[in-house]
Amino acid sequence: MGLSVHCHVLLHLLSNLPVWSCGSFCTTQQKSRWWLKGGLLALFVIFILVPFSLRILPELIQHLVYAHRIRVPFFVDLSRPADLSLNHTINMYLTSEEGISLGVWHTVPESQWKEAQEKDLAWYQDSLSDGSPVFIYLHGNTGTSIMCQQVLSALGYHALVLDYRGFGDSTGEPTEAGLTTDALYLYNWVKARSGNSLVVIWGHSLGTGVATNIAVKLTEQGVLFDGVILEGAFNSARQKMPGNPFAWYYWTFPGFGYFFQEPWAENKAVFPTEENLKKMRSPILFLHSEDDHLVPIHIAQQMYEVAANAQNAERVKLVSFEGSLGYLHNGLYRDPRLPDILKKFVRSL
């Protein structure tokens, strides 16, 4: 009786075994195939796709992430300076090298305001040889200030303001070599049209580095600037730059710099202003605010000493502005003494 029951149970189990065993085996086999495929895919990703991606994708991602910059000022047509109350100013575009178009504003002396109305580019170019001093203004990292053009125009000077490549509506990507090339091109362009007029270079902040770069290049060719003004000049030899001066050009997502190299990482900006000052032989005027929050006043004093030692105290001047006036790094144009300071410097040339 017990044996019969056990046999019956055993036969029942055996009769059901093929169905249960096959289903389990099939499921296991399917899982094995899935794991095999997954393993092969993982190996493909690790040994083929990842190395390929590390080589190719960073460049693609950099292009997509960094290359789309936001242009400032917003909602301003830089081809129309009259919209900013510069009614005796013309906008033009110069080509400093193939593929680089530079936006340049030329403001004539205020005394020519009425005559300048509706005049074309040829008239503006011809006016450069009228005997009035010509200033080439090299702006800082945050762009130009129309106030400086207005100050110079009111004094009876021509003012040409360059937007380096990558700035304003100029094309190209900003680099130290590129900015130097652009400024040098504009200087030569002006000299070819200004006759015997004085040509003075006025650099502000970043523009001081550009100004001294081109001054040295010209000195090596036996050419000297008539005069150089360095406002808020920085010194990379004695002051660590807080970051690449062109980083603003690239729009970046937070944290991407941790995974991908920034486009400017291998294109360091040097601007060896101190070394340049040792080689310069043009009259220099330093302008600096004692409360400059980006470049401490002692940096300007050190550079003044370097330049004065390279030339003499008669050809190199430093004018500082009291910190209580609150001009910081960008506000010297507000000082009522500035016009007289500029006139005195021009008369000394």
For 224-241, how does the pLDDT look when each residue is reduced to its tens digit (9 = 90+)?
Answer: 999 999 999 988 877 766
Distance (Å, whole) CA 300 – CA 286: 7
Query: Which DSSP helix (H) or strand (E) runs through 3?
Result: helix 2-44
Looking at residue 61, its pLDDT comes to 44
Looking at residue 65, its pLDDT comes to 35
Q: Which residue has the higher pLDDT, 77 or 99?
A: 99
Is 292 designated active site?
Answer: yes
Residue 13 predicted with pLDDT over 60: no
Residue 74 predicted with pLDDT over 80: no
Close Cβ partners of 87 (under 8 Å, ≥ 6 residues apart): 113, 116, 117
Taking alpha carbons only, the member of 218, 204, 203 closest to residue 282 is 218
Q: What's the mean pLDDT in 319-326?
A: 97
Q: Which band of pLDDT confidence, cut at 50, 70 and 90, is reported for residue 79?
A: confident
Looking at residue 55, its pLDDT comes to 57
Question: Any idea of the CA torsion for 78, 336, 211, 348, to the nearest 10 degrees?
Answer: 130
Distance (Å, whole) CA 304 – CA 284: 9
Distance (Å, whole) CA 175 – CA 259: 23
Residue 206 predicted with pLDDT over 60: yes
Is 139 designated active site?
Answer: no
Residue 319 predicted with pLDDT over 70: yes
Tell how far CA 270 is from the center of its chain. Answer: 13
Least confident piece of the model among 12-26, 220-234, 325-339 = 12-26
* Residue tagged active-site, from 197, 205, 282, 289: 205
Average pLDDT, the chain: 81
Query: Where does residue 153 rank: exposed (0-12), middle (13-18), buried (19+ CB within 10 A)?
Result: buried
Residue 120 predicted with pLDDT over 70: yes
SS3 annotation, 112-164 = HHHHHCCCCHHHHHHHCCCCCCEEEEECECCECCHHHHHHHHHCCCEEEEECC
Distance (Å, whole) CA 332 – CA 290: 11
CB-based contact 324:347 (threshold 8 Å):
no
What are the backbone angles phi and psi of residue 271, rounded to the nearest 5°? 45, 75
For 250-270, how does the pLDDT look when each residue is reduced to its tens digit (9 = 90+)?
Answer: 555 455 454 555 554 555 668
Least confident piece of the model among 102-111, 221-230, 236-245 = 236-245
Query: Where does residue 161 rank: exposed (0-12), middle (13-18), buried (19+ CB within 10 A)?
Result: buried
Q: Which band of pLDDT confidence, cut at 50, 70 and 90, is reported for residue 47?
A: low
Q: What's the mean pLDDT in 312-328?
A: 96
For 153-172, how does the pLDDT look when each residue is reduced to its tens digit (9 = 90+)?
Answer: 999 999 999 999 888 889 98
Q: What is the pTM of this model?
A: 0.76
Taking alpha carbons only, the member of 224, 167, 168 closest to residue 191 is 224
Q: And the tokens for 243? A: 């970051």
* Residue tagged active-site, from 163, 182, 292, 335: 292
